Chain A
Amino acid sequence: MAAELLKGFRMLDLADDKGALCGKIFADLGADVIKIEPPGGCPTRLIPPFLEDRPGPDRSLYAIAYHAGKRSITLNLESAEGRDMLGALVRKADFLVESFAPGYLEGLGLGYAELDRLNPRLIYTSITPFGDTGPGRDYKAADIVTWAAGGMMFQMGDPGRPPLQMAQPQAGLHAGAEAAVASLIAHYPREIEGRGQHAVVNMQACIVWTLMNEQAMPLLHGDYLRRSGVFTGAIGGRRKTVFKCKDGYVSGLIAGGAYLPSTKALIGWMKEEGAAPDWLVKEGGLKDLTAAGFMSADAEALDELARAEAALEDFLSTKTKREIWQNILKRRILAAPVSTVADIAVDPQLKSREFFTEVEAPALQRKITLPGAFAKLSKTPIGPAGPPPGVGEHNQAVYGELLGLTPARLAELHAAGVI
């Protein structure tokens, strides 16, 4: 069931939660991704929460989601024999991705320079929290800490309360996806010229890239942005973006500029249902809302807008997310329901595109449902390549097929703690 796109290419995946998504993307694209774990299993298998809250090496939801479609072998890199075996695997590989502390693999004689000598075609991608040269090269980076270092955390939360993390850890996902991009950039010239290279991904920089237009604000506008909770107010005005409705929340904005037609459609809907106060639909509409001006900072206009937002929330409180979504689509309003994962699971759009993909997971003795293809390709479809592997599930297959090791030899290596 592997996709044709990267069929025949092999990646050795030594990444933890700073980069597991890289190998997952490669597996979705059809590469043979071999996850190399220390005997006993990779630390990502310990990441809570667990399926049905029952801990176990195959039950981490993180590991299930981001190792699906990979093969797993165990290998002790701290042993001389294990290092030799990695070298032998490298000769049969096209890509390697790792996220150890910078310098760790070099210390074991498994740095880029050494592995390049074994296989000059190898693309060796290192994921680092803070780069490989700066004063923080040895810093530990929990996901929330990188989120903070990259500037996103400062922007999330209410003024006067602590800055917030994201819904789920995200920094390692950005780094993992960026590692896949970097590996594929290097892949193109490698297939023409036959030479691999070393890619170093900087996780902190990956977060800086999520800051949208914020980075240049201090230099061009003389000040940095401050978090404003559910309000947006990059320049001047302060506008509410989350509204309560009957069964949850909706996101939208009353504003001018690109939002003006949407604002008019929204107020038009309220008017149709008799829910718009007279002052809101008076001739000329809301003060200062123009096609040219996105926001207003004028005090009188802001007060009027705040009252408009209150009227809108009263109106939306009588509607469900579903009703509101139908009207958003029909009236071309720039808004969206604030979906829970339960809403997403039954979204008719995703259903019609057959997005979610069920796979049988033998290690869990059940089926699991994964996000499906991240893109639809007309000639070489991609998507989840299979279930997450058990620890060392493919030792025999991989070591037999790639290194010609017999079951008897594997038993010896197992007894010696190498695999």
Chain B
Amino acid sequence: MRRYAFEGIHVLDFTWFAVGPVTTKYLADNGADVIRIESRARLDGLRMAPPWRDGKPGVDNSQFFASYNTSKKGLTLDMSKPEARAIFLKLLPWADVVTESFTPKTLRNWGLDYERMSAIKPDLIMLSTCMQGQTGPHRDYPGFGNLLAALSGFYYSGYSPDELCPPYGAYTDFIAPRFAACALMAALDYRRRAGQGQYIDMAQYEAALHFLAPALVDYFATGRVMEPQANDSARYAPHGAYRCADEDGHERWIALAVENDQEWTATLKVLGAASADMRLATFSGRIADRGSVDELVGGLTRTRHAEELTVALQTAGVSAYPVQNCMDLHRDENLEAFGFWHWLDHPHMGPSPYEGLEHRLSRTPGELRSPAPTVGQHNDEILTGMLGMTPAEIEQLKVDKVVF
């Protein structure tokens, strides 16, 4: 019986920033051997982005990078040099999968498109993922997930049509990997059955639009354009975030959603509403006057302790939870019970907690098998162990900045 799902699968991974690395992390945490090829000549931007250990910037000191690259090995090759490309081509027959997330022309400029690689390794699976795909007039657009979130409609949240509010961070970077992983894993199994590899072109834009599908279906059918809806919902009332009592000078909020009259009665009871406004007793009444509902609920939560109120509401059958900040997440008892946070001892940064897996498998559970590689950490191991190079040869490649 295998311990990990993808034991024996080999990946050469050129991806950088978030989408590609998070995708290959699914394979790496599930037992695949993933060699991340990078170069000091053009380092992954996340190696130079916070959070840093002790607040000190450094290429081996970023947990932003470390979070997305667990269980992988690191090889440095400056692929702009022909000698580096020759080394890559020697490694290629070992690989089942090659992944990259540059703008489309980068690999072509290296002479390494799928055609060339599959001539050497016929059943190779290759995944290319960039913002807008490998074809089309906007294929070379370079950008980050925060900008793609704007382009793909996610900025249409907000307090009103004139007060848009973007999601935090590079939102689409955390949609695309789920789709990319599905395509890649299904292609791996297809190859096992049919003996055929293939090329996967995944536009992060197109994957992200699946998360706004209802609004797109609506627009195409009726011409209605999605607008910001503050915290309103057509399905629940009340529905939103309500201020609770501050704790230690920090603001606290509770999110709650009431779906029917029974839950509304329970909510009022938990909140200790002295007399209920009869106009709000029905679902349609509450939907019609959300302002009064929010005022009533917000007035009653303001003095309450968010966590105690959550327990009371959930016990009464009402969906609620504190609006958690990042500090709260590290002491959240449900995440803890699931074993979500995973401590790793990074060779440079020392021990810190990492995001663990979002699911648990009963028979072949994945896990964070090792911390992310420091720059070039496994150069000697890979070049000697896999290609039989001597220490002198490797040293020369380092001097020539090929292994760099």
The one of A140, A162, A184, A202 in contact with B181, judged by C-beta atoms closer than 8 angstroms, is A184
Picked from A199, A202, A234, the residue with its CB within 8 Å of the CB of B340 is A202
Pair B256/A145 contact, Cβ less than 8 Å: yes
Complex A-B: 16 CB contacts under 8 Å: A112-B362, A136-B314, A149-B255, A154-B323, A154-B326, A162-B241, A168-B211, A168-B212, A182-B359, A188-B6, A215-B353, A220-B54, A242-B164, A251-B155, A334-B144, A338-B164
Q: A25-B179, A209-B358 are known contacts. Are A167 and B228 too (CB-CB below 8 A)?
A: yes
Q: Is the CB of B168 within 8 A of A189?
A: no
Closest A-B pairs by Cβ, 5 of them = A134-B337, A142-B257, A148-B255, A212-B169, A155-B168
B376 contacts partner chain A, Cβ-Cβ < 8 Å: no
**Is A188 a contact of B63 with CB atoms below 8 Å?**
no
Complex interface residues of chain A between 378 and 406 (CB less than 8 A to chain B):
378-380, 382
**A132 nearest CB across to chain B (Å):** 8
Contact of A341 among B132, B137, B215 (CB under 8 A): B215
CB-nearest residue of chain A relative to B188?
A: A188
Q: Which of A133, A143, A211, A353 contacts B337 (CB 8 A)?
A: A133
In the complex, how many residue pairs between chain A and chain B have their CB atoms under 8 Å apart?
504
Q: Choose among A48, A66, A220, A224 the residue that contacts B63 (Cβ–Cβ < 8 A).
A: A220
Nearest Cβ on chain B to A128's Cβ, whole angstroms: 9
Contact with A along B228-244 (1 / 0, CB 8 A): 10110111100111110
Q: Restricting to A45-66, which residues have a CB under 8 Å from any CB of B?
A: 47-49, 51-52, 61-62, 64-66
Given that A164-B158, A185-B5 are known contacts, is A204 also in contact with B326, CB under 8 Å in the complex? no
How large, as a class, is the contact surface on chain B?
35 or more
B161-186 interface mask toward A, CB cutoff 8 Å, 1 = contact, 0 = none? 00111111111011100111111011
Map CB proximity to A onto B103-140 as digits: 1 under 8 Å, 0 otherwise. Answer: 00000000000100000000000000000111111110
Other-chain residue from B178, B188, B322 in contact with A148 (beta carbon distance below 8 A): B322
Chain A CB within 8 A of B296 CB: no
Determine which of B138, B181, B219, B234 lies in contact with A329 in the assembled complex, contact meaning CB atoms within 8 Å.
B138
Instruction: For the complex formed, measure the closest distance between the CB of A3 and the CB atoms of chain B, giving whole angstroms.
Output: 9
Q: List which A313-353 residues lie within 8 A (CB) of chain B.
A: 328-329, 332, 334-342, 344-345, 348-350, 352-353
B174 & A208 in contact (Cβ 8 Å cutoff): no
A117 close to chain B: CB less than 8 A: no
Complex Cα distance, B181 from A235, in Å, reads 32
Does A49 lie within 8 Å of B218, measured CB to CB?
A: yes
Interface size class of A (residues with CB under 8 A): 35 or more
Chain B: minimal CB distance from A322 (Å): 13
Q: Contacts of A184 on B, CB cut-off 8 Å?
A: 181-182, 185-186, 189
User: Which among A167, A177, A212 is the interface contact of B178 at CB below 8 angstroms?
Assistant: A177
Bound complex: CA A156 to CA B363 (Å): 38
Contacting A at CB under 8 A, from B302-350, are 314, 317-330, 332-338, 340
Q: Across the interface, which residues of B come within 8 angstroms of A130, CB to CB?
A: 334, 338
Asked if A92 is at the interface of the complex by the 8 Å CB criterion, the answer is no
CB of B207 within 8 Å of the partner chain = yes
With a cutoff of 8 Å between Cβ atoms, the chain A residues found around residue B253 in the complex are 148, 154, 162-163
* Interface positions of A from 79 to 131, Cβ below 8 Å from B: 112, 130-131
The reply to whether A229 and B165 form a contact with Cβ atoms under 8 Å apart is: yes
Residue contact A225 to B326, C-beta cutoff 8 Å? yes
Contacts A144-B240, A202-B359, A375-B202 known; A336 to B138 CB distance under 8 Å?
no
Stretch at the interface among A34-42, A190-198, A273-281, A407-415: A190-198
User: When each residue 247-264 of chain A gets 1 if its CB lies under 8 Å from chain B and 0 otherwise, what string results?
Assistant: 001111000011000000
**Residues on the B chain within 8 Å of A353, using CB:** 133, 135-136, 203, 206
Determine the distance from Cα of A65 to Cα of B215 in the docked complex, in whole angstroms: 9
Contact status A189-B2, CB under 8 Å: yes
- Of B69-77, B191-199, B268-276, B386-394, the one touching chain A: B191-199
Asked whether A145 lies within 8 Å of B257 as measured between CB atoms, the reply is yes
Q: Which of B212, B256, B334 contacts A134 (CB 8 A)?
A: B334
Of the listed residues B192, B318, B325, B363, the one surrounded by the most CB atoms of chain A closer than 10 A to its CB is B325
**A6 touching B174 in the complex, CB below 8 Å, given contacts A197-B361, A215-B67:** no
* Nearest A residue to B46, CB-CB: A213
Question: Chain B residues near A153 (CB, 8 Å)?
Answer: 241, 255, 323
Nearest-Cβ distance from residue A119 to partner chain B, whole angstroms = 15
Q: Which residues of B contact A165 (CB under 8 A)?
A: 157, 231, 240
